[in-house]
């Protein structure tokens, strides 16, 4: 009896700890930071604390009172390419020329990264809409520039003030060597013209979505970062992005605290060149902070996870965890080839970004198979674009020409679909997506599924960050490929994890859905 009571109180304390985000006062361990577990939606709602909601939504931008501002030129026309041209020729920059880019080039790049693309119509509620989608239009993502070689812009750290399309001077002058110390591989970064750093102010999402907001924040970075990568390539700039970086050094560079706001991805841009400094030095040995002696993290659980997966210098390198490539799901034979890759729509990438919106309404009618095949190729067909190897793409098909409704996996290597089950999933899928009607009215749901490894091993490591960023990047390419083809998309990342995974046959341990973008004809 006493044992029962004790375990009841232990259970109660455990549940309270999970809800308040105070899971442990002790040093965090990988087990305690099962971030995937604590960012689930359940039938009762999202786990974790919401920030006090005494007032309206948090500001969607930062304020830097009294700091000098630099106006960015209005948008200029530059060479532009189609999404298909960019995706098919994708290669990260080997090195940079060490030459300057113009302020207009930088301004254009920032606009297409996450600038305002739709001012809120007068009388209509809500913020101005941006180049990348954002959960609930709360915009937790911020953009900074470490400018080294930009004509007319003194070297320094700048904050991109989205609403006014201008830069705020955060710090004058900076040594590119500071970036080289913080980034892996570092050989190219000192000759880049500018390094663009994407951060998140996590509280903006936890205000509404509690712990779940952590996933959205990192997915947002994937959406925004993908615009940046594609727009840089479209304009003929070289770019290289870095997911391996020493968080503390970069947060310090931007004068942010690394708890309330933290760097989430890093992109160097410049004119193409060769690598000056051969990358012959052995890579720096870094380890996640949670494994470093004496490490303690503070803040709500999602921020603690982010801090615990900071990279810090250590003797031992970050552990590599092997994740089997093959899904545990049984498949139906044979696989279904998708139409050969056509040239793709003629719309330029910048026009697709400019008109991109999350559709308000999907229309009835089928998705043509050729469009579907093309969008899948753009989204996930080219391994060189991947920022994590551990994300697969699955499809819940409602209405695609020549395809039976059902559940499929996209096989990138063979550009074909592997069927897992057939039959309409409209009702159950919509219920698992919290009853959001677009889950059933779209033609297809594209699911980004993480291979989390045995026992969700990766959900306790920095790799989980990378998988979220990658799934956002895939989502952004779906949006842009859909716009280019005259179709529509909408993220639906609010779903009940256990219900969705159960419906599709994922165990939620080794494999789990982490992001969802709906696709179809729409307005
Ligand atoms: C991570 C993420 C999750 C989202 N989840 C949902 C969702 O569950 N349901 C929905 O209707 N829209 C969702 N959206 C779309 C946003 O509501 C939309 O991007 C935002 O309102 C801005 O509008 P825009 O995309 O047209 O610029 C999500 C967007 C992101 C980036």
pLDDT score of 342: 87
Within a domain: 263: yes
Residue from 114, 224, 227, 358 to probe ligand 1 pocket by mutation (most atoms less than 8 Å from CB): 358
Q: Which residues line ligand 1 (CB under 6 A)?
A: 129, 133-137, 216, 219-220, 223, 357-358, 436, 490-494
Contact 226, 111 (CB under 8 A): no
Co-location of 355 and 306 in the same domain:
no
CA of 494 relative to ligand 1 center, distance in Å: 9
Look up the domain containing 207 and give its range: 69-313
pLDDT score of 77: 75
Co-location of 223 and 342 in the same domain:
no
To the question of pTM greater than 0.85 for the whole model, the response is yes
Give dist(CA 221, CA 217) in Å, integer: 6
pLDDT score of 340: 83
What burial class does residue 215 get, using C-beta atoms within 10 Å of its C-beta: 0-12 exposed, 13-18 middle, 19+ buried?
buried
Co-location of 295 and 354 in the same domain:
no
Co-location of 369 and 516 in the same domain:
yes
Give dist(CA 46, CA 210) in Å, integer: 6
Residue from 493, 500, 519, 520 to probe ligand 1 pocket by mutation (most atoms less than 8 Å from CB): 493
Within a domain: 42: no
pLDDT score of 300: 84
The gap from C-alpha 295 to its chain's centroid, in whole angstroms, comes to: 27
- Going by C-alpha positions, the residue among 69, 252, 66, 257 that lies closest to residue 169 is 69
Co-location of 279 and 166 in the same domain:
yes
Co-location of 491 and 410 in the same domain:
yes
Choose one of 282, 313, 344: the last residue of a domain: 313
Co-location of 486 and 361 in the same domain:
yes
Within a domain: 180: yes
Co-location of 86 and 220 in the same domain:
yes
3-state SS assignment for residue 159: strand
pLDDT score of 456: 87
Within a domain: 10: no
Within a domain: 49: no
Intervals of the chain under pLDDT 50: 1-3, 6-7, 10-11, 13-14, 17-31
Give dist(CA 501, CA 510) in Å, integer: 11
CATH number at residue 301: 3.40.109.10
What is the count of structural domains for the chain? 2
Nearest CA to ligand 1 atom 1: 216
Neighbours of 228 (CB within 10 A): 25
pLDDT above 90 covers what percent of the chain? 70
Co-location of 201 and 147 in the same domain:
yes
Co-location of 478 and 420 in the same domain:
yes
Within a domain: 353: yes
Contact 449, 420 (CB under 8 A): no
Tens digit of pLDDT for each residue in 24-79? Answer: 444 444 445 789 989 999 998 899 877 777 778 899 999 999 999 999 998 777 78
Co-location of 364 and 269 in the same domain:
no
Co-location of 143 and 190 in the same domain:
yes
């Amino acid at each position: 009896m006493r044992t029962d009571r004790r375990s009841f109180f232990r259970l109660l304390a455990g549940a309270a700890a999970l809800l308040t985000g105070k899971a442990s006062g002790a040093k965090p361990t990988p087990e305690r930071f099962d971030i995937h577990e604590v960012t689930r939606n359940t039938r009762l709602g999202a786990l974790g604390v919401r920030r006090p909601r005494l007032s309206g939504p948090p500001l969607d931008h930062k304020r830097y009172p009294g700091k000098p501002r630099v106006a960015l030129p209005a948008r200029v026309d530059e060479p532009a390419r189609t999404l298909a041209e960019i995706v098919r020729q994708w290669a990260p920059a080997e090195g940079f020329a060490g030459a300057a880019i113009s302020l207009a080039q930088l301004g254009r790049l920032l606009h297409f990264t996450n600038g305002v693309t739709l001012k809120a119509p007068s009388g209509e509620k809500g913020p101005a809409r941006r180049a990348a989608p954002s959960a609930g239009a709360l915009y937790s993502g911020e953009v900074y520039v470490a400018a080294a070689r930009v004509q007319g812009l003194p070297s320094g750290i700048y904050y991109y003030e989205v609403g006014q399309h201008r830069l705020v001077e955060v710090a004058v002058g900076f040594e590119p060597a500071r970036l080289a110390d913080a980034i892996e591989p570092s050989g190219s970064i000192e000759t880049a013209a500018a390094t663009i750093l994407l951060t998140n102010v996590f509280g903006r999402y936890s205000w509404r979505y509690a712990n779940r907001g952590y996933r959205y924040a990192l997915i947002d970075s994937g959406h925004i970062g993908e615009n940046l990568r594609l727009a840089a390539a479209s304009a003929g700039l070289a770019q290289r992005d870095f997911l391996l970086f020493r968080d503390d050094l970069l947060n310090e560079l931007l004068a942010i605290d690394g708890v309330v706001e933290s760097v989430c991805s890093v992109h160097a841009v410049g004119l193409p060149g060769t690598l000056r400094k051969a990358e012959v030095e052995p890579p720096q040995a870094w380890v996640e902070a949670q494994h470093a002696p004496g490490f303690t993290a503070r803040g709500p659980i999602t921020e603690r996870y982010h801090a615990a997966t900071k990279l810090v210098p250590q003797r031992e390198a970050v552990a590599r965890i092997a994740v089997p490539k093959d899904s545990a799901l049984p498949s139906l034979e044979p696989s279904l080839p998708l139409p050969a890759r056509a040239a793709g729509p003629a719309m330029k990438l910048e026009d697709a970004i400019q008109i991109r919106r999350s559709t308000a309404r999907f229309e009835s009618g089928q998705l043509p198979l050729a469009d579907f095949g093309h969008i899948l190729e753009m989204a996930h067909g080219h391994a060189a674009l991947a920022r994590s190897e551990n994300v697969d793409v699955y499809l819940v098909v409602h209405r695609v020409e020549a395809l039976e409704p059902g559940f499929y996996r996209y096989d990138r290597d063979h550009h074909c679909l592997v069927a897992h089950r057939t039959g309409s999933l409209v009702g159950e899928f919509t219920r698992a997506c919290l009853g959001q009607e677009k889950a059933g009215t779209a033609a297809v749901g594209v699911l980004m599924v993480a291979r989390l490894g045995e026992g969700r091993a990766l959900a306790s490591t920095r790799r989980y960050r990378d998988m979220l960023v990658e799934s956002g990047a895939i989502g952004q390419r779906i949006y842009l490929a859909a716009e280019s083809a005259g179709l529509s998309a909408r993220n639906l990342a609010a779903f009940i994890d256990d219900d969705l995974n159960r419906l599709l046959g994922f165990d939620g341990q080794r494999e789990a859905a982490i992001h969802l973008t709906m696709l179809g004809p729409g307005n």
